[in-house]
Amino acid sequence: MAKNTDLIIFGAAGDLANRKLFPALYRLHCAELLEDNVRIMGLARADMSNAEFIQATLESLQKMLGQDEIKDSQWQSFTRRLHYMQLDFVNKRHYANFKSWLVEKRVAIYYLATPPSLFGPISSHLNSAGCVDRLSRIVLEKPIGQDLASSRHVNDTVGQYFDERNIYRIDHYLGKETVQNLLALRFANRVIHSQWDNSCIDHVQITAAETVGIEGRWGYYDNVGQLRDMVQNHLLQLLCMVAMEPPNSLEADEIRAEKVKLMRALRPITGDSVSDDAVRGQYSAGWINGEPVVGYMEEEGSREGSSNTETFVALKAYVDNWRWTGVPFYLRTGKRMGEKLTQVVITYKDSPHSIFESGHTSGNRLVIRLQPNEGIQLEMVSKKQSLKERLSLEKRVLNLDFFETSKKDRIADAYERLLLEVISGNQWLFVSRDEIEASWHWCDSLLAAWYDKNINPKSYGAGSWGPSKAEILIERDDRSWYGSE
């Protein structure tokens, strides 16, 4: 449990704070997971009193969590934690006022829910105003840079004022229950662990499909694209959790070291392989859940003409190490796809020799679903219950449904876990500088190959599963995407 801690949110009136941070903090408070003396300070540019800030937070919580979840007594006790101060983040002189709110010997956690361009100025101003000591922590949201060089610049700048052990880089996928469950699945189940390599596994698929478009963020997104927005961070983190070697312990340094090792073993996709192993797409108009939606170039805020930014990526990647040689990892992620689906699918090799004649004889598959309906399913081959047929086979599923098994009405949001870990000072679910840089290094080579070969995104209709080339990428290997048939 956390003690003597002040959580200071830069950007307290913004979208992230309202959609994720305050709902998560409120729920932690109601679950009695925040020590009584944890104070929460909201900083923003708006000229508001404490009372006005509390009222605005209440309204936004009611919108996000629904009226029923906000119980009067819990809300009243939560408000005792809340403070607000107006601050112009780029004005050095304004920080003196904020400094007077800090109390010696308490741990200050600075959560930067701001554009990354402010990470440098805020850290520097905090430091000049004497708000940083050896215990102060800083929490950074993605993106950390646009490529390896710019991510180094961000890390160097923040690193001038905060020790690496006090820098918490968020990848919210690591806060998801099912992502942490990958550790349990792999390392607490001998039966799984002993079959987790190229002698048993045929291939791995990782899908993160979204039905949403770019949600009013055209200006930001058009400079970024799906590779930087989703692959460089979330998909590579998932890949690491699936493929890294067993860490020596759950200590943050041990886990992070294994992830870095894995990323460094990723075979670069270069000019020679890029047209076979990588697909870029961009959505055109189509239908989502029976409703018409516009194409990427007609989205609100888009500019005239065309754009070379991808909203879909499919990749075939290899991990060049002892365990995974020869096992392809197929990754795909896109906006405006047929359904919201995030899952990892492990397909096992068939038995070396089949003694059966009829029915479904192909092998096992492990499906780990992150969202929606978090759960794990193991597809098994079983005998059909029948007197008529002697030994005919069928596919049956062992189903671990987390809603059912936990008997809860909801699974905690990633930010609840992540905020708890920041407050308790544990880095195991945060991304180290080395990880960020290794993942940019790999993505940079792919981006350069696309650029050098002049590969533009292929169009796909909103509501589909991406351009047909994404099907070809996997079908060429006699395999198919799971879950989008």
Closer CB to ligand BG6, 108 or 414, in the complex: 414
Pick the closer one to ligand BG6 by CB: 229 or 258.
229
The residue nearest ligand BG6 at its CB is 229
| 374 or 379: CB nearest ligand BG6 | 374
Cα 423 to Cα 26: distance, rounded to the nearest angstrom? 14
Question: Strand locations in 423-470, DSSP E?
Answer: 458-461
- 343 in helix, strand or coil? strand
CB of 141 to ligand BG6, least distance (A): 9
CA proximity to 310, closest of 438, 483, 446: 446
Least distance from ligand BG6 to the Cβ atom of residue 234, Å: 6
The nearest distance, CB 193 to ligand BG6, in angstroms, is 27
Residue 192: burial class (beta carbons within 10 Å; 0-12, 13-18, 19+):
middle
Closest separation in Å from C-beta 287 to ligand BG6: 20
- DSSP for 259-319, written as a single string: HHHHHHTBPPP-TTTHHHHEEEEEEESEEETTEEE--GGGSTTPPSS-----SEEEEEEEB
Residue that the structure tokens 């996928």 belong to: 173
Contact 148, 440 (CB under 8 A): yes
Q: Closest separation between CB of residue 383 and ligand BG6, Å?
A: 39
**What's the Cα-to-Cα distance from 393 to each of 287, 312, 347, 366, rounded to whole Å?**
39, 38, 18, 18
Q: Which is nearer to ligand BG6, 173 or 324 (CB)?
A: 173
Q: 3-class DSSP state for residue 257? A: helix
| Ramachandran region, residue 214 (left: φ > 0; alpha: ψ -120 to 50; beta: rest) | alpha
Residue number, 207 or 364, with CB nearest to ligand BG6: 207
Q: Cβ(158)–Cβ(119) under 8 Å?
A: yes
Q: Output 26 or 173, the one with its CB closest to ligand BG6.
A: 173
Residue 48 has what DSSP assignment? -
Chain contacts with ligand BG6 (rule: CB under 6 A): 208, 210, 229, 342
Among 153, 193, 234, 353, the one annotated catalytic = 234
Single-letter amino acid code for the residue at 367:
V
Three-state SS letters, 359-418 = ECCCCCEEEEEEECCCEEEEEEEEECCCCCCCCCEEEEEEEEEHHHHHCCCCCCCHHHHH
Q: In the annotation, is 83 catalytic?
A: no
Beta-strand relationship, 201-209 and 137-140: unpaired
Our CB check for ligand BG6 shows the closer of 102 and 294 to be 294
As measured in angstroms, the least distance from the Cβ of 211 to ligand BG6 is 10
- Please report how close the Cβ of residue 34 comes to ligand BG6 at its closest, in angstroms: 23
User: Which residue, 43, 160, 57, is CA-closest to 109?
Assistant: 43
Instruction: Return the active site residues.
Output: 234
